Amino acid sequence: MVGYDPKKINLSTQEQAFVTTSSAILTRGLIQPFDVLKIRYQVQYEPISKKSQFSKYKTLGQSFSTIIKEEGLFALWKGHLTGQLLSISFSAHLLWFETLTRQAFTLWPSLVETEDKKFAAHFICGGIAASLTLVTNQPIDTIRTRLVTQGEPRIYQGVLDAVKKVYTNEGLKGFYRGTVPNLMLITPETASKLGIYQFLNSLWDYAMRIDSSNNTKNISVFQSSINGSLSGIIAKTIVYPFDLSKKRLQIQGFEDARKQFGKVVEFSGLWNCLYKSVKNEGLLGIYKGFLPSVLKAALSSGLTFFFYEQLTNFVGNLNYS
């Protein structure tokens, strides 16, 4: 299971690292096209609508076909290398989560007595784990966003070229554009996702009358997929405006590569971005790209927990046998 539980069989640090990294790689490869489309939607200031003659992207089907027609099928995996690096590096939050929950339950054994206390512990540990991981992730996320949102001809010819040009033109701070909204996004989203996932698993066990104290009980494929998807959808809905703001701030100073995609708007910071977005595009403007994003969140969260639980079960069963 995700996180430490004194009532369960727990994996070693090396085994946890293998499980989290493998889960991240498998999930990223499958959900990358939705991530590309979500980012394109987020940085398009024109409406996502069939009725808008000025919009490049109007519907899911039209958007996918436009990208494939203009840039080729593999454009749906633009930024995939940095996406994989981001996923692998961010998977460290599960290791942090394991360590923090282990410490919390060891120092305060009473936390496992009730589901309310366990949910609070998982929520807080999840938020701290995400914040610790964010420091190393932000530069990778910025480079990925630049690679995904550039058109043709390309400004950046690859990851190393992007790193060199961002540093030369914008300095070190260029890699950390959008850090504030990212912190406000990742911390509550991860905390909510991990807390809700554990809570849903407890409800599942109660509804199915499963003995949750059984330390050899494995979480099923169906349970991990459903609860993982639901936790991802709920968490993403809560923090989505910060996700949009983060992407829009990350492409500041990158206007030349985006002119073919539509209007370019400058922002001075997080609150200015949210204010201008609502003022110019309406309240729904800060939820632009929400459909592909929530589809991605459901798939990503569901697949991550699915692969994580099944790999954990596999490794645990090897040890147990």
Give the span between the Cα atoms of 272 and 45, in whole angstroms: 15
- Do the beta carbons of residue 301 and residue 32 sit within 8 Å? no
Mapping DSSP to helix (H, G, I), strand (E, B) and coil, where does residue 168 land?
A: helix
The pTM (predicted TM-score) of the whole model is 0.58
The confidence score (pLDDT) of residue 212 equals 56
Q: Which DSSP string do the residues of 210-229 spell out, in sequence order? A: --TT-TTPPPPHHHHHHHHH
Residue 100's pLDDT is what?
87
At 136-187, the pLDDT tens digits run 788 888 888 888 777 767 888 888 999 999 999 989 888 888 788 778 777 8
Q: Are 210 and 238 a contacting pair, CB within 8 Å?
A: no
- Whole-number pLDDT of residue 204: 85
The confidence score (pLDDT) of residue 123 equals 82
- 6-54 per-position pLDDT tens digit: 555 567 778 878 888 888 888 888 888 988 898 888 888 888 888 888 8
